Structures are given as structure tokens and as C-alpha cells.
Structure 1
Amino acid sequence: MIETWALSRDLASGWVVVAAVLAGLSVVLLAIELKRQGGRAAVAVAGSGVLAVAAMFVAVVRPVRIEERGASVGARLLVLLDASRSIDLPADGARLRRDVMGELLPKIAEHFSGIRTRVALFGQEPEPYTGSLEDPHFTAPPVVSSDLSAALEALSRTTDELPQAVIVVSDGRLDRPGSERVGESVKAALGSLDVAVHTVALTRKAPADAAVRAVRMAGAVVAHQPVSITVEVACSGGLECDEIPVVARELHQSAPPVERASGVAKLRGDTASVELELTLDRAGKRIVEIAIDSPDGDEVPENDRRLLTVDVARDRIRLLHVAGRPTYDVRALRTWLKSDACVDVVAFFILRTHDDNVVAPQDELALIPFPVDELFTVHLPSFDAVILQDFDARPYGLSKHLPSLTRYVKQGGGLIMVGGPNAFVMGSYAQTPLAEVLPVSLDGIPRGDAVDLARFVPKVTAAGRHAPVLEPLTALMGLALPEMPGTNVVGDPRDGATVLLAHPERHTASGADMPVLALGEYGSGRTIALTVDGSHKLLFSTFAVDAAGRAHGAFWDALLGWLMRDPRFEPARVALPRGCIAGTPATLEVRAVFVDEGAPAEVVVTRMGTGEEVLRRDVTVSPGGEPVRVPIGSLAAGGYTATVQLQRQGRSAPSRYDFACEA
């Protein structure tokens, strides 16, 4: 420690000089005056006067004592540790690369013991290493990416003290920089920084391996529009590769994957790229698998595929509207659909059957045959939803297409069946494949009792009062609804279905109120059953005057939005903030909508493709949209679906979240 004295810096140096001159002048004048007066008291007066002048001078300049402590430090060192998934691969022997990393850490700590050292991880984003260098166990969880360039770019932007050297500990399997021009890429990432970068290899021998090295998409992904995907394939470790088939598949909740694109990567050297043109028909989060058919001798099959969570946008809604006869309800819905520029509608009536006697030859009835079969086979996947309104498929020869319509819903399509004299049981849908898709049962209802013509006013159920789907309607009309001119008779809601509107008097076989509006899930798709054909009364009737007819559009906009999985109409929001790595614990975040107080909820996680349930957990969601963390444990590689169903005053419609867990 070094102690020194210094004058206060409150006064400029010029004022300190002035104070010193005045103090000296005061002493001189005091001496002259004492000499003129003389006497024995002159010495005492002189002493006290000098002390007073000195005290005044000290009070003006205020000297301070300064203590200085210092220490000699070494150069600052930054150690970057690879935290990507590849460190769990074997090293040169039987050990994993993670174990080799753990053995290196104490050696680094000992070798650089006299140097200030900071340790960070690089993968997706650089972050501090919370473990100890003295601990021979590298415990950092693996991440999907291995982006060294991002860590170096972050270093070049920092405002902290810069290191004089960087040590990178990695196995060399990096996303960035690539395998070509590594030195130039590192210099570009560092920018103007003049820092030495050293490397420590975790392994010297690469395993015989063919892998999907990287997947890149050009621009946003929009439903029904092709997007270009670049797949980079690499071979290493002496594995002989010439041509490697590449395929892109879309995963579904309880159905086999559907192939969307394929190609062949022709390797010239160690890497090759292939362009695939991918078209996805459904908006929202879709799980896409990119896989290769690796040659014999591949020692690391885990990286033969990549699972991507793709956010698919929608620029327009494409609907197929099929009606059995022209009614006020059909006209109101069709007019509203065609008034929306964001909706493409293919709508048609079938006004006669094969049994009708029209007293005319068949070739005189239509100049151009309507492509009904083509619509329900080739073009059906291009529609976001199908509306069957008061339509009986049997007399028109369309029953053969009901299995295709069932598969369409199972693979993510939407279906609305609207009531009328030719719908539900009266439409001959009972005991058909399509009956299993509907959110209500049609079993056990005789055709003679399948329609109730008595007028009634639907009642909003407990689940309906808290459902975002009905919120636009109730905001305009409250809980009051117009009188309906009868209803189709249906049975109990299926497991997992949600009843929003019910009949005030009719009951099902179980004694429950008969559903009038029910929502359900089937496979990857959604279905709606509306048993009445009077929704037009929300548009033109004395009841609709107060809302100026806006209630009809609000009602159908919400129904279609729920079918399209529009977040506005989901009762809960689900997210996976940190992604999912196979074998690493993952956590979901659940937020409730329109919940003013805590409510119980059920979280279910199933495996895509098989529908196998891997987790079921009861939680309590927080009010005010606060997130609730739900640990889902360690999952195997694959695609998964998480559904959340609130259970406050009736079960809400489930909110779904698809995600991928990569190996």
C-alpha cells in the first residue's frame, strides 16, 4: 500500500496560487505590524497569527490523504467449450468426447493458474460455464447447434475488457464456420480484434459417418406454396459415399409420416447439397423430418435425420363448401365467405340425384361435367377446411369419398357439419367412417327421431361462457341467442370434445344436455358439429338488430379461426422456450387465456405417428396470463404433441402444440 497527500481538486490550480499568495501576504503584514508595536507579547501574537493563517489556507485548499493498493495480474484468457450434441459421440477409444472434455478442464486450470481466465460455452448462443474447471465432469447440457462464429462475433461486440488469447475446445463438428476456409471465417467473425485463437481437439479420429450436416430454408413458409430447402449431407471417417437419397416427411399426430419431397445428394468430396421443393398444406407449427438413406458402415445413425419445427404461415384460407339445397342459412354463410378477400371458396350445390326423372338425356343436362370426384381425391388436401351444410352424400354417390374425407381430417384438415333435414343421421352419416370424426355420437338414433322441429333457444354451457371461440359473439349479444327453427338430434359428445351450446330440453341417452355446438379433435385435425341451420338469424332478424347483423360474421369467423388454430381462439398458449434435446430434461410453458383466477388443467404429451402417451400431468394455471412451467422429463428423439385442456366449470377445447425433440 502506498500513502500520499494531495490537494483537493475542487479548486482550479489558479485559485490555489491566489490563496497561497494571500496567506503569505497576511504573514508578512503581521510581521511588519508586530515589529512596529514591539513588546513581550509580540512572539505569542505572531505564533497565533501564523497558525490562524495556516488554518485558513488549509480550509481553503483541503488537502486529502490517498491510499493506493495494486496487484500484478496476468493476461486475460477466454476458454470456449463446445456444448453441442456431438460431444456425446465416442472419441478415439471407448470414452465419450464429453469425458475427454472433463479430463481437460483440470489441466487447463492448472496450466493457466496464474492467469485470469473466463470460461464460456458455445452452441446456439454463447453463455457462461457455471461449472468449475477443477471438476473433471463436464456437466453442461447439449444444445442443437454448434456455432463458434456466433461466440466470436459476440466477443467482437463486447464492451468488457478484451482477452489477449482465446482457446477453443471442440471436436471440430461445427455448423459455423463450415469445413471450407475456416481461417477466413474466424477472422471475419472477430472483425477488427487482434486476438490469437488456439484450438484443443477432443478427438483425432472421426467415425465412419454419413450425416445430415445442415438444413436451410429460403424465406418464409406459407401454406399451399412451395418452399426451397437446401440439405447439406456430409461423409467422414473414410466412409464411401457416392449418391445418398434424401427425403422430407411431414409427421402427424396418430398417422404415418407423409412424404413431401425427395432427392439425391451426389457427393464430390466429403459434402454435397441437394435442393428439395417442399409444400405444406396446413398452417401453424408443423414437424418435418429430413432423413437420408445412409450407406453400410455408418457408425453414427443418430444424425441420419433432422427434425424441424416449421412455422407455416397462411396468406389465404381455402374452403370447400358443399350444400344440399339453397336455404337462407346456406345463402347467408356463402355470402359472408365470399365477402372476405382473405378466403377462397369453392362452393356448389348438387340439386338432383341419379334417381331424379328430369325427362331429358344425360348429355343435355350439363355442358361441362363438374369435377366432384377430382375435388374429393386430388384436390382435397389443398383445402384448409370442408363445410358440409345440410348435405346428404348418399343419394349423390359421394359416400365413396367419406373415407378420403376422414383421412383428410386425420392429417390436419378441418371439418364443419352444419345441421338441416339432410345432415347428421338424416344425411346417412351414422355408421360411416366420417361419423368417427365428428365430436358427437350418431349411434342409436333412429331416422324417425333424427330431427326435432320444435323451436328452441340454445343455452350457453359453462364451458361456452369461458371459451374464446364464443367471446366475439357474447361480446355483441351477451348470453342471449335467437330462437332456432328446430335441430338435428345427436348423441353424447365424444371423449375430449367440448360442448359450447346445448339444447335446453332435449337430453342424450346418458342424461346429459344434447349438444348443439360441439368442438373436437381427430388426429391432427379439428371438427365442429353445429346441429341447427339457423345461424342466419344472427344476420337478419329482429334479434340481430342490436348488433347490426355483425354477430353472424363474428360467430363464423371464430369457428373458422378455431379450426385453423388461430391463437386468438385458443384457451391456452403452450411454448417450449429452450427447445428439446433427446435425453435432456425439457420444460413446457403454459399460459391460460380468459382466466381471472387459478384453474386446473391437464397436460398430455403424446408421440407423433403412434399416438403413444408419454406424459399426463395435472397442473394449476395462474391468473393474468402468468406462465406455468411444466417439466416433461427426458424424451426420445422424435415428434411430439402437447395438449392442454382447462377444467374450469367444464372442460375447454384442448390447445395443441407440436414440437420436435432432436437426437
Structure 2
Amino acid sequence: MPELTSTQLTFTFANSLPLWQLIVIGLLLGAYIGYQVWYLRQKTAIWVALLVSGLRLLAFTLIILFLTNPTILLQTLQKIPIPLALLLDTSESMGLPAATSAETTRLRQAQDLLIEGRVLDTLARDFDLRVYRFAEHAQPLTRDDVAALAADGRATNVAQSLADVQQEYHDTPLAGIVVISDGIVTAGEVPTETVHQTGLPVVTVGMGDPDHYRDIQVAAIEAPNFAFIHNPTEIEVTVRSWGYRGLVIPLVLKQEGRIISTSSLHLNDDRVTKRTTFTVTPKEVGRYRLSVETPVQVGEMLRANNHKDFQLQVRRDKIRVLVVSGRPSWNYRFLRRALKSDPSIDLISFIILRTPTDEVNVPDDQLSLIPFPTNRLFTEELGNFDLLIFDNFSYLLYFPMLYLENIRKFVADGGAFAMFGGDQSFDLGGFANTPIEDILPVTLEQSRSGYVHSRVKMELTPEGLQHPITRLAPNVEETQRIWHEMPALRGFNRARRPKPEAVTLGVTADGQFSQLPLMATLQYGEGRTLAFLSDQLWRWNFELVGAKGGNHHYLNMVHQMVRWLVKEPSLRPVRLFSDKDVYQLGETVALRIRVLDHDFSPAPGAVLNLVVSDPQGQSVRVNALPAEEPGEFQATLNAEPRGATRVEVTARLGEKYLGEDVLIYDVIPSSTEAATGAPDHEMLRQLAAATGGRFFTPAQVGADFAAVLRDILQRDLQYKIIEERALHLRHTPSAFVILVVLFGAEWVIRRRAGLA
């Protein structure tokens, strides 16, 4: 900026006398001159007396004046520029067209205003101008850099950028700040709530044309982090629209690319925010990728914001368990108590107190017992349960073979089934050669050999030591010790053998009946089953309380049994993990897979099928490599494209299916600028008003912009003295000459008048 200088002359007195001294001197001098006029008037003409006295008065006045040292100051002044900061928005939204049909971007519009419109030159003449670019933070630059700027900022944080500039000027307070932006704020605090506290005027210039902007945006989705299976869940969607007044747009809710619900919105104004609510009822537990989208309309400025992904995790609000017991028993009593002790279990139980063959001499309508609602339970309501337990129950007197087939289908579709022993269970209950035998882990005896009344203890198999149901301690040694102290059972059902695909957890360990299956599990279709071939399970509660003072091992086993049967996610043999839930576009996604065999021992030889599906439904298979820990695998991939990406893994060991898991992670743009492009001039107006500044459109910025800014900032031009010279008049020869002339003139007049 050129240095503007000027010269200024100032007359001053270096030595000033007190006023009272000046008054006294004036009175004495007046008295003296008056006396002299009176005296000379008696000897000469009046005009001579006045002329001589006047010359004497002038001479004495000059002498008195020289006593005050009159001085002429010659000052060279330099204008002090007013400190002013100019912030130019270079976020990605400034790369959008300045108008709907224009090819000029908002940043180019600002550059033309500053350079071609000579606003930079105008401001630089009157201000100490500092130029900054800003997006997330403010960065200083030279005036020559302005023309080459690009709209590449990933976010717009106006409040932080203003704070950055103020911090730089903390020793030299700014007169004000000029902000040139489209007004879109995508990060940080609302600037109008923070900047007004500083008292610094902010003048704003709005880029873009908000009156003719056209776009439809799926702005927000409000959905719970998780939903409960079979329970209606509301998903609220917010849509913002600019420039499509009168249009009715469809809105589609999709799950994994499949349409599950639709809605429509009437846009009744040019700028409108609409909300609608979708209600969905999840049918299965798991993590799902959902999306809300609306078709792209003609003339839309942005296309990517017509679609928004989110994920929904479906859980069980309660594990619904149905228990059917053939008769009252200690086993039923303690099992029911254990199930009721878990607040996450919703238990419904039926116990047979009277069979159809019992003779009762009372009409049915006078009995207090309710009938067994077999038809409703096993044809209509079965799918609403997660786990079905038969406790020493025989179906023969209560429902036909069709109901057993319904139970088999229930398990094949993902349900869980458990059977406890007794004299009415397994082959003694007539379940041999039925659909129930198909889903049991053991092959039933055909001869109905009966219930074995013998004292046996259960010994865990190597698989049982690792399995979540029977692993009652963190390590194998402690688990073995706990089961060694478990009381003996007093009877069991004899089964022929476990099925080849079953996992035997416990076997008999005493006498002639050693190594017979007592507890076994099976994966059947999508579901799981368990067989416990005894009705003496209650002794692990009752007798252990008497001997050890606690029943927590029994309760833990029952609770873990239920959770394993209903496929609680934490007990899955195949687990898929990612290092983060949300990734920026282009980041590296690190996946880790843990695979366990059916006995829950590590499965390092498992073969994985890892498939990644992007938001558009395109799938690609990814190789997973073994990690350091046995049974663990790892894979990496790039986070792209934006949206919710689904990762699914299935694991096999030979011909054996081990399990599967699903993971969903979100990929978001590295920039937050892609969501909305509507210029927000109202924010700029509020920012200017809150700080005592003023809002301008580009058309309002003219050649007098600097002068207008000075008025707004209430700052006049200021100068500083760079050179000063003092001329003391009493030290000059002319002062002496004047005195000589005055006294010499008085002497000449006196002589001519005959007074000398």
C-alpha cells in the first residue's frame, strides 16, 4: 500500500506566561502608554503623540511576545491505515454455480468482485488490509493469491475462522471484518451466537442467488439406534426443498435395496421443510442397512443429497420363552424360577395338571383349570416365541402330528427348541420317528427302554469345556472344578447315540452307564436345539445351595443356555468386527473375523466367504487372511462409495457350516459440503446485524465501498507525524530588525517634532 504524506504548519508558543502576569503587564503597559500620550500632547501635536506612543507600544508588545517564544511548527504527516480483515470463503459449496443457469461459480463471482471490480484496490488505499481464505480455519494470503484460489475446503466453520483472525490481532485491535461467503455453515457453532460478544463489526457480502436456487434434500433421519423385533418402530424423515413449489414428490424407504414403505410429500412453498414418518415392524434380529430416497428432479443443483443411508439394529426386547411341562415337578419349579430371575426373559408356561383321560365328576365349565390351547399355540402363536421347551412332556394326548411338523419348521426357520428328560420325554413321550426326532441332537431308542433310575454324574466333554452353555468360568481348570463339585443326578433317559452333526457337551461318568450322552446341541436349519436327557437338573440348584450356599452356577447355566439357543450375538461362533463404525471417504477399513467351531474352540482352518455390498447393491468378494491368533482372520478395504456398506461373512470347516455374521459401516464424504448448497444469506444478515455491521449483495458493492465501510465502522482517517521542524521567531534576524526599525522610527519622529 502506498504511503500517503502531507505537510502541516502550526503556530504555537513555546513559553506561555500565566494569565495574571499577562494582565499585570498589560495594565502597566497601558498605563505607561497613556501617560506618554498625555505627556507628549502637551509638547506637540496630538497625531505626533499618538504615532510615537503607538510605535513604542508595538515595540514593547513584540518584546513581551518574544518572552513567550513564538514558534512555527512544520510537520510532515503520514496517514495511518485502519486495520481491516477480509475473509474469503473457499469451501466446496463456493464451487457451486452462482445462479441456477450460470456457469460462474460463487468463488469466481467473489474473485471477479474483488479483482475486476477493484474492491481490493479500493480497500487497500484506505485500510491496512489483510486477506484470508477460510473454510474450517482462516489462513492468511497475499492479494496476488486471490485469483488462483480453489473451492476445496471440506467444511465451513465461520465462528472458528473469525476467532482465528481476532486471535492474530489481539495486540492490534481490528476496526472490523469483511466476510465474503455464500453463508452455508457446516461445522462449528452458530456464528451469530459467538461473535457478537467481541463487539467487532462484521460486514458480510453474500455470494450466490438464494431466490433462484433449486434443490431437494433428504436433510435428516431420526431413527432409534436399535429397534425391538415384532415391535413397530417409527422413523422420522425431514426433507428440505428450494424452488419446487406445488410439486408432489415420492419418498421411498428401502431395506437392503428392497422397498419396504413409501410416502409422498406436497411441497407447498418455494422454500419449505417437510416431515414424514415411516412405521416399520422388524421381523428378524440383526443389523440392517436402510435408506430413504426421492427421485432427482429437473434442475436440481445437487443430486447426492436426494438419498440418505442409515442403519438399524434389531434386538429382542424380551426373549419370549414357552415352557410346556407334563406334570408338576421339582425340575419344572426350579427351571421356571431360573427363567423368571432373568429380566430379559418373557416367560409363558403351561403345566399339565389334568390329562384328558382323568375322570372328573365336575362339568368343564365349573373347573378352575384352563384348557391347554394347543391349536392357538402351535398353529398361530408359535412364531411369536424365540424358544420352546418341552419339560418331561408327551404330546400323544394333546395334539396331532401336524403340530410337531410346525415345531420342526419353526426351528428350521430360526427358532429354538429344548427338551428335558423324564418318564414322558424323548422316546417315552412318543417322539421317535416324528419331526421332533429330526431336530433333536440324539437318536432315540425304538424299544422304549424306559427311564434309567441310577445315580450318575455328568462329565464335560472337551467340547463342553469350551461351549458357552457349560463354560461356567473363564478358564478350563476352573470350569472342570465347578462341574466336579456338581451333585449327582438320580436318573436319566437313555438315548441310542448323538447324531453325527450334534455337539455333545456332557456324558454320564459313573458305573455301567458311563459315556452316554446327557447334554447335546444341534444346529438345525437356521435354528438350534438342545437335549438334556434327565429331569434331575434341579439338583444342581437345590443340593448345591445346601452344600455351598449358592445357586449362581445353575442360574448362569440356564441363562447361558437360553442365550445360546436364541443366538444371542455375543455367543455367535462367527463374529465380524471393524475398527470403526463410520469412515470418511477413502479411509482404510480394517476388518477382523473370529471363527469358532461348534464346540467353540478356535477354527483356524475355516474357509471364509467375505462379501462386501455397497449402497447401490454391487457386491464384491474380499479375501480374508489368517491373523496371529488361532481362529482369527483379517481383511482391509477402502471406504467407498459414500453410504451404508454391508459386510457379510459365512464360515465353513470342511462340509460343516459354522455360522455367519453381518456388519454395517457408514462411509461419509470427507467433506460435509455435499449435503446442502442453498446460499444462506439470512445467516449473513443476522451475523452483520448482531455485530453492528451490514449485509451487502455483490450488486451493492461499488466504488465507494471503502467510504461506506468507514461510516459503518465509525472510523475517521488518522495520521502520524513522521517529521517535525520548529522555527523560533525570536531567534530570527527579522525579529531584531523589526525592533530596530520600530525604535528607530520613534527616534526620527521625536527629532523631527523637537522632542529628542
TM-score calculated relative to the size of structure 1: 0.55
Q: Deviations over 1:311-335 (max 9, x none)?
A: 4576655432222333332221012
Mapped to 1, the partners of 2:530 and 2:166 lie a distance apart of 58
Aligned length: 521
Q: How many Å apart are 1:385 and its aligned residue? A: 3.5
CA RMSD for the aligned pairs?
6.5
1:516 counterpart letter in structure 2: M
- Which residues of 2 match residues 191-590 of structure 1 at below 5 A? 212-217=218-223, 221=227, 227-233=233-239, 241-242=247-248, 244=250, 265-269=265-269, 272-278=274-280, 280=282, 286-287=287-288, 289-291=290-292, 307-311=309-313, 317-340=319-342, 343-350=345-352, 369=371, 371-376=373-378, 380=382, 383-393=385-395, 395-397=397-399, 400-401=402-403, 414-423=416-425, 438=439, 447-448=446-447, 453=452, 456-472=456-472, 475=478, 477-480=481-484, 481-484=486-489, 485-487=491-493, 488-489=495-496, 491-492=498-499, 494=501, 499-501=504-506, 516-518=519-521, 520=523, 523=526, 527-541=529-543, 545-546=547-548, 548-563=550-565, 574-575=577-578, 577-579=580-582, 586-589=589-592
Distance 1:369 1:234, change over 3 A: farther
Contact 2:595 2:602 in 1 (8 A): no
Residues 337-374 of structure 1 show CA distances to partners (whole Å, capped at 9, x for unaligned) of 23455543211124566677767766566675554444
Cα gap change, 1:229/1:500 in structure 2, threshold over 3 Å: closer, same or farther?
same
For the Cα contact (< 8 Å) 1:589–1:628, is it kept in 2? yes
Q: Offset of 1:577 from its aligned partner?
A: 0.8
- C-alpha spacing 1:541/1:247, structure 2 compared with 1 (3 Å): same
The C-alpha deviation readout for 1:153-210, integer Å capped at 9, x for no partner, is 776898996798888899x8x9999xxxxxx966458786877888988x9999997x
Quote how far apart the aligned CAs of 1:426 are: 6.0
Aligned match of 1:5:
none
1: CA distance, partners of 2:620 / 2:397: 41
Please tell me whether the aligned partners of residues 309 and 644 of structure 2 are also in contact (alpha carbons under 8 angstroms): yes
> What is the rounded CA distance, in whole Å, between the counterparts of 1:541 and 1:479 in structure 2?
14
Any stretches of 5+ residues in structure 1 without a counterpart?
A: 1-73, 94-99, 122-133, 141-145, 178-183, 507-511
- 1:403–1:592 CA distance, 2 compared to 1 (3 A): closer
Match of 2:465, as an amino acid? Answer: R
Give the structure-2-normalised TM-score: 0.50
Residue in 2 aligned with 1:619? Answer: 626
TM superposition shift of 1:556: 1.0
Which consecutive residues of structure 2, in runs of 5 or more, have no partner in the other structure?
A: 1-84, 121-129, 138-147, 170-176, 669-756
**1:286 is matched by which residue type in structure 2?**
R
In the superposition, relative to structure 1, how do residues 291 and 405 fare at CA in structure 2: closer, same or farther (>3 Å)? farther
Residue pair 2:519, 2:530 contacting (<8 A) in 1 also: no
Provide the secondary structure at the position in 1 that maps to 2:327: coil
Code of the residue aligned with 2:221 in structure 1: it is V
Cα 1:199–1:76 shift into 2, 3 Å:
closer
Specify the alignment match of 2:66 in structure 1: none
SS in 2 for 1:472: coil
Secondary structure, in 3 states, of the residue corresponding to 1:319? strand
Q: State which drifts further: 234-243 or 529-538.
A: 234-243
Contact 1:456 1:504 (C-alpha < 8 Å) held by counterparts: yes
Q: Determine the C-alpha separation between the residues in 1 that align with 2:382 and 2:457.
A: 36
Question: How far off its partner does 1:232 sit?
Answer: 2.6
Shift in alpha-carbon separation, 1:356–1:368, aligned structure 2, 3 A: closer
How far off its partner does 1:613 sit?
9.9
Equivalent-residue separation in structure 1 for 2:545 and 2:405 (angstroms): 40
| Structure with the larger helix share | 2
Q: What does residue 664 of structure 2 align with?
A: 659
Alignment check: 8 A CA contact 2:469 2:560 kept = yes
Once the two structures are overlaid, the 10-residue window that deviates more, 338-347 or 274-283, is 274-283
Task: Return 268-277 or 514-523, whichever deviates more.
Answer: 514-523
Distance 1:331 1:215 in 2: 48
Checking the alignment, whether the CA contact within 8 Å between 2:460 and 2:507 is kept in structure 1 is: yes
Residue 205 to residue 600, structure 1, CA distance change in 2 (3 Å) = farther
Distance 2:203 2:412 in 1: 57
Query: In the TM superposition, what is the alpha-carbon distance from 1:564 to its structure 2 partner?
Result: 5.9
CA distance in 1, matches of 2:355, 2:420: 21
Listed as ranges, the matches of 1:56-205 within 5 Å are 79-81=90-92, 187=192
Give distance in 1, aligned partners of 2:246 and 2:497: 63
The structure number with the bigger radius of gyration is: 2
Alpha carbons 1:152, 1:190 under 8 Å: kept? no
